[in-house]
Chains A and B, each alone.
Chain A
Amino acid sequence: MIAIIDYGVGNLRSISKSVELLGGKPVITTDKKIVSKSSGIILPGVGAFKPAMKMLRNSGLAGVIGKLSAEGRPILGICLGMQLFFTLSREGGVTKGLGLIDGTVEKLPVKKLKLPQMGWNNVRFQITNPVFNDVKNNSYFYFVHSYYCKPKDKKTVIAVTDYSIKFPSVIRKGNIIGTQFHPEKSSGQGLNMLKNFVELAKKPC
């Protein structure tokens, strides 16, 4: 069972339905017990950093996710979900994140380009990884974001994308995976990548 964390805003149907389509058993939840029993966790990409962190702290999920991640439970963060892994974000002032990955979340330093970056952009692999099984290097994924992740340890960056700067579009640290784009909105290639996570979450950790 894959627990999809519900911050209380936005569309969770697409991610839930795509996990189901790929052979996973999705449960949209805020329940610590369900999350603890899950074989994998998805932090979805809807909402804003501050309210999402507030919800994770108030519900006690922040602690549970930290503990499970240390035990090697597969966790996928999508867009905002990936940003929540980091030490802090500068979205709407400085807010502390889950601190699972050392680094910060910064605003894209665009000059001429528009914000948010909205649309399909290339994702270039930096390191081969099982997350990329059946996914073509340099193919297009759907992005909607104004902030990007800046990890201290560059080895966690396994794919990059260009928008005013080169930024990490996929990160991996142990069983923590983050995508700045939305695989559930990226058609066939996106679903292939999501399938690799669903497979990972099936393996005993």
Chain B
Amino acid sequence: MLTKRIIPCLDVKNGRVVKGIHFQNLRDAGDPVETAKQYSKNGADELVFLDITATLEERKTTFEVVRKTAENVFIPLTVGGGIKTIADITALLNAGADKISINTAAVKTPRLVKESSSRFGSQCIVVAIDAKKTARNKWEVYINAGNTPTGIDAVKWARNVQQLGAGEILLTSIDADGTKAGYEIELTRAISTSVNIPVIASGGAGEPKHLYEVLSKGKADAALAASIFHYDEYPVHKVKSYLKSRGIPVRS
């Protein structure tokens, strides 16, 4: 049967992983390619690189990172961060990314989602949604790395991007992100049950139990996490065997 995916996320800046990675057996903990290899070895189902590089010039290093990763790691790779145009998408796919995650640009120019999905296929286009709670069962979409409110309802926006041709949604709860207190289950369930495309839950993972909750109660198709995997305490394979013991189908 189709398994739930466990996806480590790496913040990449100027060709290096930022936010400390602390694997004992890693030669260069700041090297995204080495880290990606380690995650793949540990049983990660996919990888996400979030490019947090500030300038266009520095972004060139990202292509190099994507290229080297695609040459060394044979699991799907999604790249997001600052993607604005069809040309950006083309360049990253050519470098070796399998999927491209679009966030702010999707809100500003929804046409980009439509054009890119019809050109490259829906399976290539992930729309990232950053949402913040405004009332009971109400969430608002934020853009510009969670800094700018848009007035758009997150559930409506999720339905809208599916209509536009997105193949997947990467959903981050701004309220839960960084808390390590667990994913926002209500938000994840509300979005996941409103669309027919897969939803990756993000924001709030602090321990394996949180992944269990979002994959069961939250009805997420995949769980993304960063810091939980960055230490040897919770390597991907341990998280997966925990999930398996609790009845979640995972690839072992």
B122: interface (CB < 8 Å)? yes
Comparing B90-98, B173-181, B201-209, B210-218, the segment that makes contact with chain A is B90-98
B1 at the interface (CB under 8 A from A): yes
B123 close to chain A: CB less than 8 A:
yes
Known pairs A17-B70, A114-B197, A118-B167; A9 contacts B5 (CB<8 A): no
**CB of B140 within 8 A of chain A?**
no
A126 to B75, CA, bound (A): 26
Contact of A11 among B2, B40, B96, B221 (CB under 8 A): B96
Q: Is B60 an interface residue (CB 8 A)?
A: no
- Asked if A187 contacts B2 (CB within 8 A), the reply is no
Q: Point out the residue from A13, A140, A142, A163 that lies within 8 Å of B94, measured CB to CB.
A: A13
Proximity bits, B72-105, A CB within 8 Å = 1, else 0: 0011100000000000000001111110000000
Nearest-Cβ distance from residue B110 to partner chain A, whole angstroms? 20
Decide: B198 and A11 in contact? CB cutoff 8 A: no
Bound CA–CA A117/B122 (angstroms): 12
Chain B contacts of A36 at CB under 8 A? none
A119 and B123 contacting across the interface, CB-CB below 8 Å: no
- Number of B residues near A (Cβ < 8 Å) is 34
Q: Is the CB–CB distance between A116 and B122 below 8 Å?
A: yes
Q: Is B170 an interface residue (CB 8 A)?
A: no
Once the chains bind, are A144 and B123 in contact (CB under 8 Å)? Answer: yes
Contacting pair B121 A47 (CB below 8 A): yes
Q: Which residues of A contact B150 (CB under 8 A)?
A: none
* Complex CA–CA separation, A164 to B205 (angstroms): 31
B71 within 8 A of A: yes
Q: Is the CB of B5 within 8 A of A116?
A: no
Within 8 Å of chain B (Cβ to Cβ): is A178?
no
**Residues A119 and B222 in contact, CB atoms below 8 Å apart:** yes
Contact A119 B75 (CB under 8 A): no
Contact with B along A6-46 (1 / 0, CB 8 A): 00011101100110000000000000000000000000001
A46 to B4, CA, bound (A): 23
Contact code string B206-237 (vs A, CB < 8 Å = 1, else 0): 00000000000000011000000000000000
Chain A residues positioned under 8 Å from B5 (CB to CB): 118-120
Nearest residue (CB) in A for B98 is: A11
Report the nearest A residue to B250, measured CB to CB.
A120
Contacts of B4 in A (CB 8 A): 119
Please indicate which of the listed interface residues B70, B118, B168 has the most CB atoms of chain A within 10 Å of its own CB.
B70
Give the CA-CA distance A179 to B221 in the complex, in Å.
23
A197–chain B nearest beta-carbon distance, Å = 15
Of B2, B71, B93, which contacts A117 at CB under 8 A?
B2
Chain B, Cβ-Cβ closest to A144: B123
Interchain CB contact under 8 A, A114 and B74: no
Kindly list chain B residues whose C-beta atoms are within 8 Å of the C-beta of A113: 2
Q: Can you list the 10 inter-chain pairs with the closest CB atoms, starting with the nearest?
A: A13-B96, A120-B251, A140-B251, A144-B123, A17-B71, A121-B2, A13-B70, A118-B198, A120-B3, A119-B5
17 contacts between A and B (CB under 8 A): A9-B120, A9-B121, A11-B98, A14-B96, A17-B70, A46-B120, A47-B120, A48-B118, A115-B197, A116-B122, A118-B168, A119-B4, A119-B45, A119-B222, A120-B2, A121-B3, A186-B75
